[in-house]
Amino acid sequence: DSGVTQTPKHLITATGQRVTLRCSPRSGDLSVYWYQQSLDQGLQFLIQYYNGEERAKGNILERFSAQQFPDLHSELNLSSLELGDSALYFCASSSGTGYYGYTFGSGTRLTVV
């Protein structure tokens, strides 16, 4: 157990639907990061939050949004889902900038049918 909790572990939904992925960071970590990993693809950075504020944005689609709540947990909202959105979505956390690396959760596998 890495200390980063992601729910749900698996999600199957239809095209056009909306889903919410949830992440609780490791205790004491203020930064949360979201990544997408498609089959045989590398980790694509989506977005970073630090203590409730958006800090950096990567290749996140306009259909996707995220937030970090006062208790530091984060949610990633994916809407108008397309088949190509099927992927593993990882949340990671760090104490600050990630200078010493990240701790990853075990991911949410999203399948859009």
**Site residues for other proteins per CB under 8 A:** 2, 4, 33, 42-43, 45, 48, 55-56, 88, 90, 92, 97-107, 109
CB of 16 to other proteins, least distance (A): 27
Tell me the C-alpha to C-alpha distance, in Å, between residue 53 and each of 8, 10, 70, 72, 106.
24, 28, 10, 10, 24
Q: Of the candidates 81, 88, 79, 83, which has an alpha carbon nearest to the alpha carbon of residue 108?
A: 88
CB of 43 to other proteins, least distance (A): 5
CB of 81 to other proteins, least distance (A): 21
